[in-house]
Amino acid sequence: MDEREYVLIRGTVEQIVFYNQENGYAVLRLNAEDGAEVTATGTFPNIGLGEEVILTGTWVTHPSYGEQFATEAFERRLPSSVRGIAEYLGSGLIRGVGPRLASRIAEKFGEDTFDVLAYEPERLTAIRGITEKKAREIGRQFTEQNEMRLLMDFLAEHGLPVSLTPLLYKRLHDSAIDALCENPYLLCDPYYDVDFKLADGLAMELGLSLLSDERADAGVLYTLVFNLDNGHTFIPVEKLTAAVCSLLSDDDVLFDEDRALASIARLRERGRLVCEHIAGRDAVYLRDMHDAEAYLAEMLGSMAEKNYAYDFDVDELLSALVMDSEVPYSETQKLAITTAARNGLVILTGGPGTGKTTTVRGILQVFEALGLNTLLAAPTGRAAKRLSDLTGMEAKTIHRLLEAGFGVGGRTAFARNLTNPLECDAVILDEVSMVDITLMQALIEALPHGARLVLVGDADQLPPVGPGNFLRDIIGSHRVPTIQLTDIFRQAQQSDIVMNAHAVNEGRMPVPSGADGDFFFMKRSDPAAVIETVAQLCSYRLPNHYGLLPSQIQVLSPAKRQGSGTIALNRRLQEALNPPSEEKLEKRFGDWIFREGDRVMQVRNNYDIIWEKRENEEQGTGVFNGDVGEILQIFPRQECMVIRFDDRIATYTYDMLGELELAYAVTVHKSQGSEFDAVVLALSDSLPRRLLTRNILYTAITRAKQLLVIVGSQDVVAYMVGNNQKGRRYSALKARLREEQPSQPAL
C-alpha cells in the first residue's frame, strides 16, 4: 500500500539548475506561493524561466542535497507578470531575443505580450531595432515553441520519450497530437525508432482495441522493419506469423495465426507487402525490400553479361602497362586487371596482404589509358579517406557521391539517381562487404548507361548492418566475374597481424609475436581488469614504448553494453585520456559528459549539418554514421559545440548531441571500413556469446596496420576462432541472380 503523502505546490521557475535535453529531466529552483524557495526534481520537458507551475509530488531527503520535492505530475502556465514574461522570453527560448530585448517587449505589451507574439507579431515593429522580418520570425518561433511544448507535455503524460518531439514536429507540425491519437502506431516508423510496446501502451491508454486491424497491421510491419536490422530482406511466412502472434498476445488477449495471415493479406492488397515463393521459402517482404532485391538481380545480371570491345589491341595495351609498372603483378592480379577492362561488372576479393590495393591501382591505370572517367567510393568516411591515400585520387562516401539529403517524410533521398545520373564511365567501390541492398540499389540507379562497376571487398568480414548479404550473395551466385586473391605477398608475410588474420580465418589460433613483433596478447579475464589494462595501454604504455599518440590508438570491443563493452571502456578512457580540467568546458547530456578534446562518433546520418574546410573555405552539408571527430570548443551561452571531422569543421547545437557517442572505444561493427595505426581489442569473458564469432575476431584483427594488442581471456579467443557461425540472413538475391524464377504469390 502506498503511504506517501502527496502535496501540491504552486510556484514560479526561478532557476534551472540542471536539464537533460534527452529526456526532459530537470532540477528546478522555485519561488513558491508562500515565498519559500523549493528545489524540485522531475520530468519537465522544455521548461522555461518564469513559468508558473503546479506540482504534485512528495517531499524527499537527498543524502547530498538535502530536502527536495520529487514531482510526479505537473501543470504549467505561461508567466503573467511583466518580470516573469521578460525572464521567459530572455531565457534563450527564441533565437535573437536576449534578456535586454525581452524586457523591452514585456514592458511594451505587458500581460498581452504572448497574445501579440502569437496573433499580431507585426506589432513588435513598434520597438526600435525590430524589423518586419524579425517580428515575423519572433512570432513564428514563439508559435512553434508553444506547439512543441504541447506535444512534449502530451508525450511526457503518456510516458513517451520527449526526445521524439523534434522528429514528430518536423514531420507532422501542429497536427502531431491528433495524428498520434488517431494512430499511435505511426511511432513504429523507423524514422522515430520507437519500440512497439511503447506505441502499444499509448494505444491502450487511448482506448484502442487489442484486436483492431490497425494494431495487427502495425505488428506485422514492425516485425518486418525490426528484422531489417538483423539483416533479413524477407521473413518466411510461418516465422513471421509466429513472431507477430507472440508480439500481440498478452494475458488478456490471444492473437492467433489467422488474424496475422489476414493482416498480411490486407497489407499486401494495399501494396505495403509482397509475398512470393523464392529460394525455397514462402517469403513476405516489405515492398521496398522486394523492389530493391529484384532490381539489383536484374541490373547486376545485365551488367555481368556486358563485354566491351575496342578498336585497338587491348592485350597489347595491358601488356605494355604491366611491363612499364614498377609493381610485379601476380598472374591473378593481371587477370583481375584484364577482366575489369573487358567487363561491365567485376568483383575483386581477398584477405589482408593479398594485393587488393595494388590491383586497384593497376585497374585505375588501365581505365585512365582507356580514357575512362573513374570515380572512387567507399561506405564510410574513414574508408573513403584510406582509399584516397592509397590511390592518390579523391574518394567519396557513397552518400556524398550520390549527394544524399532528406526526402519526403525525413527519409534519405539522393540527388544522383535514375534521372540525374553520375557523370562517369566507371566506379570502383571499396569495402563492399559493408554495403546493404538499399544503398547498393541507390548506387546502381545512379550509374549512367554503359558505366562499368568494380566491387572490392573481403567477403569473410562482417556482413552489413543493414538488410541483405550483398557481397556474399553475388559471389555465391557464380553469375558475376569474381577474382579472388589468395597469395600473401612476401612483404605482408613479415606482419604477424596479416598472418594471424589469415590463421583465424582458417580456424587456427593466432600466435603472439616476439618482442619485436606487432601482435601481442595480455591475459586478463575479469572485465574490470581488462578495462584498467586497456586504459593503461592507451594512456602511457603504448605511447611511451612505441611513440604512438593516443589519437593513433583505437580500442575495439565486440559489445556495447556488457562486460568490457564500449560504454564502460569509454568512461574509463575519457577519465584517463581527457580528464576534467578547469581549462576544458564540458556538457552533460543524458548519461554522458562531452568535454573539449573528446573523441566522438556520429551514430546516424544527418544530411543537414553544415561543415566547412577552413583551409580553402569550402562548405558542404552532411555528417554520416561512423564519422569520427574531436570536440574543439563548447559554447555554453550559445548552447553549441564545434567538432572537427578530419578536415571538416561542424557546429552541433545541444539538441543534436543524441547523435553523438564517445569514440575512444567503438564496436568492431562500427570500426569496419577503417584502419588504425594501433588497435587494442578488449575481450573479457563476460561478453555475450552471440558476439563472439570468428568473423568479428577476423574483422577486428584486420583493422590494425602497425600494432594489435588483445587484452582478455585466451578462452574467449579460442571460442571465437572455433565459432564460425554466421547468423543466417533471409535473402533471395543469390537465388534471383541464379535466374530462379519466382512462382505465383504464395498467399
428-479 per-position pLDDT tens digit: 999 999 999 999 999 999 999 999 999 999 999 999 989 999 999 999 999 9
Instruction: Please answer whether residues 237 and 747 qualify as being in contact, where contact means their C-beta atoms are separated by less than 8 angstroms.
Output: yes
User: What are the C-alpha distances in Å from 110 to residues 85, 102, 107, 195, 339?
Assistant: 8, 11, 5, 45, 79
- Selected residue with higher pLDDT from 16 and 161: 16
Among 439, 345, 327, which residue's Cα sits nearest to residue 673? 439
Whole-model pTM: value is: 0.80
pLDDT confidence bin for 742, thresholds 50/70/90: very low
For 397, 398, 456, the CA distances from 340, given in Å and listed in that order, are 22, 21, 11
Average pLDDT over residues 585-592: 87
- Assign 338 to helix, strand or coil: helix
Candidates 96, 101, 124, 100; CA nearest to 112 is 124
The cell for 655 is 539538441
Please, which pLDDT band fits residue 151 given cuts at 50, 70 and 90? confident
Distances in whole angstroms, Cα of residue 629 to Cα of each of 83, 312, 569, 583, 660: 43, 49, 18, 20, 10
pLDDT interval class at 509 (50, 70, 90): very high
pLDDT of 410 over the 60 cut: no
Q: Within 10 Å of residue 609's Cβ, how many Cβ atoms?
A: 22
For residue 22, name the pLDDT band (cuts at 50, 70, 90). low
Question: Mean per-residue pLDDT for 613-641?
Answer: 85
3-state secondary structure of 322: helix
User: Would you state the cell numbers that stand for residue 253, as one nine-digit string?
Assistant: 488477449
pLDDT at 608 over 90: no
What is the torsional sign of CA 473, 476, 481, 486?
A: positive
pLDDT at 741 over 60: no
